[in-house]
């Protein structure tokens, strides 16, 4: 069973986001070993660059520890249809035992993270808050497995 790690800066403060996340985590448990690795937001700093640098270091450290194939969620990344994302994840899982998805914090990600993680996924040109981005990602990963398994799954 493939391991999927979601490496995310910040936590889900609102109960409804946590419950949405739990619902998809439950559904995904049939298909993969899912782990959500929450990294601390560096909101003690005033300076955005300092925040991005510090968060970036913890992101790259977590990615290294997880190993495997890594995708960064980025607005200027590659846009996949759900069908293509599904095919990609299934192909990755042939050659990797672990797939990681990285979601930055409120200020985005540092240059080092953007340069260090070559594969970037975009869920469109709109900017989403990090909590909603996490739910979108979970839903799309779940949809990927459902599509790969030929399961019935509505829009």
What is the contact surface with a second copy in residues (CB under 8 A)? 14-17, 19-20, 23, 79-82, 85, 104-108, 122-130, 132-133, 135-136, 139-140, 143, 154-155
Residue closer to a second copy by CB (options 66, 145) is 145
Smallest distance, a second copy to C-beta of residue 97, A: 25
Residue closer to a second copy by CB (options 19, 49) is 19
Nearest Cα neighbor of 102 from 28, 38, 7 is 7
Smallest distance, a second copy to C-beta of residue 20, A: 5
**In the beta sheet, which residues pair with residue 2?**
none
| Euclidean distance between CA atoms 26 and 34, whole angstroms | 9
Smallest distance, a second copy to C-beta of residue 102, A: 14
Residue closer to a second copy by CB (options 32, 141) is 141
Tally the residues of the chain. 155
Residue closer to a second copy by CB (options 12, 66) is 12
Contacts of 14 (CB under 8 A, 6+ apart): 131
Tokens of 56: 């970036």
Is the distance from CB of 110 to CB of 74 less than 8 angstroms?
no
Smallest distance, a second copy to C-beta of residue 125, A: 5
Angle, alpha carbons 11-66-14 (nearest 5°): 10
């Amino acid at each position: 069973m493939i391991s999927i790690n979601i490496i995310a800066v910040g936590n889900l403060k609102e109960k409804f986001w946590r419950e949405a996340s739990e619902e998809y985590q439950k559904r995904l448990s049939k298909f993969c070993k899912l782990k959500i690795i929450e990294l601390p937001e560096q909101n003690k700093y005033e300076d955005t660059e300092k925040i991005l640098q510090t968060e970036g270091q913890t992101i790259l450290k977590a990615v290294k520890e997880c190993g495997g194939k890594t995708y960064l969620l980025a607005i200027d990344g590659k846009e996949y249809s759900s069908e293509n994302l599904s095919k990609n994840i299934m192909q990755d899982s042939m050659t990797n035992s672990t797939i990681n998805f990285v979601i930055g914090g409120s200020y985005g990600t540092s240059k080092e993270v953007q340069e260090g993680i070559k594969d970037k996924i975009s869920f469109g040109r709109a900017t989403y808050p990090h909590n909603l981005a996490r739910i979108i990602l979970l839903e799309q990963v779940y949809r990927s497995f459902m599509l790969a398994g030929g399961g019935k799954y509505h829009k």
